[in-house]
Amino acid sequence: MKIKLLTLAVSAAFSTASQAESAGESTITLGEVTVRNAQNEPLLTKNILTSVDVLAADKIEDKQVMNSWELLGQMPGIQLTETRMGAESGKATFRAFNGEGYINGIKVLIDGIPSNVNSGNQRFIDMIFPLEIDYLEVVRGTNDPRYGLHNIGGNFNVGTRQGGNYAEGRLTVGSYNTREVQAAYGRESGGFAQNYFIAKQDADGYRDHSKSEKYSLGGKWFYTTDDRRLKMGLTARIYEHDAEEPGYLTASEMAASRTQSPAKNANDGSERDMKQFAAHADWQVADDLLWSNKLYLNEYKEDRKITFTSYAVGNAPRQRRQWDETQTGLISTLTWRASPMLTVDGGINYEQQDNSYRRDRYNYRVPTDFSATPARVQNDDNYTLNNFGAYVQAIIKPIDALKIIPAFRVDRFSGHTHLNTSGATGSLQDYGWINQPKLSAVYNLTADAHIYANWGKTFQVLTGSTAPAYLIGGQTAYSPSINTGKEIGLKIKPLAGTEARIALWQQDADDEVANMPSTGTTVGLGQTRRKGVDFQISSRLTEKLSLWFSHAIQEAKVVSAYTANGVSLAGKEVFSTPRYITNLGAEYQLGADWRLGLQARAQGDYYIDDLNAQGKYGGFAVLDASVRYSISPSTSIDLQLKNLTDRNYAYVWYDNFFWGGADRPMFSPAPGRSGYLSLNIKM
């Protein structure tokens, strides 16, 4: 990997506009973040972890996206997997974990509430719209002890608005008959804060048979006592999404028409409903002791009808999948600020999942008739998954220039499944206690230069309703796959208003598994190694001009594994993992009323199969532009042009990677040039 080129780039590139930070932090912030009173709240992530990025509300609220996970594409090293299949629109990943759904290595949180579905997919993030977001926070690597399940390569948290006095609305119209309205309202008085949000989005879509209708409704109610020692609150959010699916195209179909939807997909679509409710309580037990608690309920239901291929024989690719998942959980933490030199933070979490999954298969029709009696019921499963975790970490400052954070986490799992089609039952794999030691350190070379390092272990366990996640009929026992990560980095402020960071990292898994619960597919990848270089820099060059740039070089390779028929995978790249991800952005304030913006994103090609034999696909370079005109202090108009150069690119997957048939890439074309006009009102 071209590490030397990246090192040279440090002295040549632009840099980062962000808030001033306390000595010893390695966080990079893009935008203006509201400073919280940390003394009466849980520890801020930037104070305890070393590879953290924050994207503030002013870089989010005016962005037009069809799905909120796309917002993370502004942040360094984020891979966007844009499947664009109805409600299954895609996801954001990083650290060489791809977004295919086979290895779900990124933990998702909304206001600190775990928000992955059972498989690890990121569907709950669809509930959030840009105007409701206060900040996006990404934690990379293996050194965060706060979370266990799905926290393999790191996590990201979507922080939504809390408190304040505002009334804001955003109305958008644009390409593909897109119509969207967002409204946010907040009032805070006498210790009581209330926040409300509603959004509705309709669009016909870039391709035929890709209409989408969704809405989201949310509320927050918090009370803080006069002495500010007790803060209690409730949060609630509901979401509904009905969407058509246009289906994947062969290369010849896409060459004939990028916007077509094959006849076989005419009845494909998704109906997705999600809910999230939580109770929060932070109690300042003593001046140096804070007890924080979150009790939550997540509900996820989906009915998805899909026809993957045009094969006339068999019924494998013609399926109706139905999920019904309920998660209830508790997160409880204690923070003891013993002295300026020592803070101790620890907690427990418990989550119980009660899930069902049904998969029907249908014989070939054009289009497939999902109202007919299925040819066979592949799955009709009820299963539970219980997770108990605990962690402790200490923030030690032996001298002003040095911060050391040792940590330790343990997790344990249990559960049971019942397969109604066969009557078979089984218990979850007994992984025992999964131990995860971690260590981080930050040293201030100068007031404007910090060197940091971290090391830690995370884990992967199998998910889904059937074997091998559950021991059914003599199933071979699996051990958890342990990931060991290490990183060293340097953050500097070479100029006023400028920040840069470069990091070298590596993450090794001892027994990784590509696991797709919805298809009942498990493929052992064995020992894998991911490594890379992350570089980012941004700067407020003048009062009017800000620039930012990031470049991530990465690779994910199999060290030792074999296919089912004995072919070695050693040295092969993990499929669907690009070798580089690049971001470049600029913002210019042209006078008091006009603001201009440009953002470019690029991603390299990737292999689409485990043997790396089917060629590389999926790379792109896209340029977006925006113009904002302020009519008055409370009213503005945005024009956003996406894919300004009308670049043709597509998401690509390998057809029949897991079921037989012709070997070929299948394509989901990305939209061409598109435009959106928005009216913003703030009161």
Domain segments of the chain as ranges: 3-682
Rounded to the nearest angstrom, the gap between the alpha carbon of residue 528 and the centroid of all alpha carbons in its chain is 22
CA-based nearest residue to 625, from 640, 614, 615, 646: 640
536 HSE (CA, 13 A, CB side):
28
Question: Residue 17: what pLDDT?
Answer: 30
How do strand 154-160 and strand 106-110 relate by DSSP bridges?
parallel
Task: Please count the other Cβ atoms lying within 10 Å of the Cβ belonging to residue 398.
Answer: 10
| Per-residue burial over 272-282, b = 16 or more CB atoms within 10 Å of its CB, e = otherwise | bebbbbbebeb
58, 29 Cβ separation under 8 angstroms: no
Label residue 123 exposed, middle or buried (CB < 10 Å: 0-12, 13-18, 19+).
buried
CATH superfamily membership of 3-682: TonB-dependent receptor, beta-barrel domain (2.40.170.20)
77, 153 Cβ separation under 8 angstroms: no
Can you read off the two tokens belonging to residue 76?
A: 């360094």
Q: CA angle 628-185-125, nearest 5°?
A: 75
SS3 131: helix
Measure the CA–CA gap between 6 and 9, rounded to whole angstroms: 5
Q: CA angle 9-10-12, nearest 5°?
A: 60
Measure the CA–CA gap between 681 and 184, rounded to whole angstroms: 10
Report phi then psi at 145, rounded to 5: -85, -5
The reply to whether omega before 468 is within 30° of 0 (cis) is: yes
Measure the CA–CA gap between 319 and 274, rounded to whole angstroms: 22
69, 90 Cβ separation under 8 angstroms: yes
Strand partners, 384: 354
Mean pLDDT by 10 residues, the chain (683 residues): 36 31 60 56 71 90 94 93 94 93 92 96 96 95 96 96 97 98 97 98 98 98 96 98 96 96 95 98 97 98 89 75 98 96 97 97 87 93 98 96 96 98 95 97 94 96 92 84 96 92 96 79 85 95 94 95 83 94 96 95 94 93 97 96 96 68 83 97 94
In this prediction the pTM is 0.93
